[in-house]
Structure 1
Amino acid sequence: MSQQNPGDAGPFLYVVVCAAGIAAEVGELIDGARRRGWETGVIATPVAAGGGFFDVADIEARSGRPIRSAWRGPADPRPFPPPDAVVVAPATFNTVNKWAAGLADTLAVATLCETYGLGVPVAALPCVADALAAHPAYQDSLIRLRAMGVRFGDPYSGDPDEHGHRPRFGWERALDLVER
């Protein structure tokens, strides 16, 4: 992880957060990354950041940095160092498809599109309903992103099992995927 800045305590992880209900628990990923020695910066889709999908103040306190969701101006300094790895969690249907197609219409998706050229490990934890996951465009997007080197965790639909229990989201799995 050679891109570490001298003033940082550890390698730098970009965490891209999309608008899904499970995003409320993204603090688990931030805390897990910090326990493993990562510094983190969160980039959220505009809907995730502004739609109440997670507690912005809490995540800023945990990461020690402001959450980014909008483009910076050309004269503004870069708020994060270059990434040593990137995790997108939860990765929604919309983001996965735009990312695979190269449609960089938000800072979050543009960041994901750029990762291909950076050569850093990228992991995605999909959170997509089964009906959407069956869509041919989504399946094609997964194939394209895997061919680009993106490492995927198990899909998560959020649907309860036969006993009414929701499975746990694999936040720590994302870290395993970028550290392998």
Structure 2
Amino acid sequence: MTSRTLYLFGSAAPPVFDVAKVIEGAQADGWDVCLGLTPTAARWVGDSLDGLAALTGHPVRSEYKLPGEPDVWPQADVILFAPATFNSINAWAQGITSSFVVGVVAEGIGKGTPTVTMPCVNAAYARHRQLDRSVTELREQGVTVLYGEGAFEPNPPGSGKPKGYPWDVALDAARRRAEKA
């Protein structure tokens, strides 16, 4: 069986600390996983970056490569951006690509790369009307946004449940998107 490539991207939200288990689960399902993180998320898991690179067999990326440098990852069959913070979702929907992972997913829309995202925001951020606008914008551009009933639902500020983040829903949606492509 030919391996499929999953770009697993994450922002700085507590579920990012479970990324090794998510990688192992994806690998058990036959994925070749490439991990990309926002700069803050990379700082959060900084002590684990070498181990995560060894686990995936690819360098963990959080910055753009220099012009002329070869790409060190295989082409993605699907991108899963989770957890995606309020900042990342809004920057992506507005085309603000100052971070590597947001740049890749923004470009992925134009390339037609199947993409799934699952926000991780608290209820206070969820009440900001820009989040709904951004979710709508991304959905209109073909991104599967796992937000609302049956996916990610915000918690009150300060009461997050990182262990309750529905990673299984996200991985299943990524698998389904790749199968449709």
> 72-81 or 89-98: which moved more?
72-81
TM, length-normalised to structure 1: 0.86
Query: Which residue of 1 is the match for residue 165 of structure 2?
Result: 169
Give the deviation of 1:166 after TM superposition: 6.3
Are 1:155 and 2:152 an aligned pair? yes
Hey, what does 2:27 align to over in structure 1? 34
Residue 58 of structure 2, aligned match among 46, 51, 65: 65
Q: Which amino acid aligns with 2:100?
A: L
1-structure distance, mates of 2:23, 2:111: 22
Larger helix share, 1 or 2: 2
TM-score (norm 2): 0.85
Aligned length: 171
- Equivalent residue for 1:77? 70
Structure 2 gaps of 5+ residues are 177-181
- Percent identical pairs in the alignment equals 33
- Quickly say closer, same or farther: Cα 1:123–1:47, change in 2 above 3 A: same
Contact conserved, 1:23 with 1:53, CA < 8 A, in 2?
no
- In structure 1, runs of 5+ residues without a counterpart are 1-7
What is the alpha-carbon distance in structure 1 between the residues aligned to residue 161 and residue 97 of structure 2? 36
Inter-CA distance 177–141: structure 2 relative to 1 (3 Å threshold): same
Aligned equivalent of 2:94: 101
1:9-158 matches, cutoff 5 A: 10-52=3-45, 55-153=48-146, 154-157=151-154
Q: Is this contact kept in 2: 1:87–1:124, CA < 8 A?
A: yes
2:22 partner SS: helix
Contact 1:15–1:88 at 8 Å: present in 2 too? yes
Q: Is the 8 A contact 2:14 2:162 kept in 1?
A: no
**2: CA distance, partners of 1:130 / 1:92:** 12
**Matching residue's letter, 2:164:** R
Structure 2: distance between partners of 1:87 and 1:155: 14
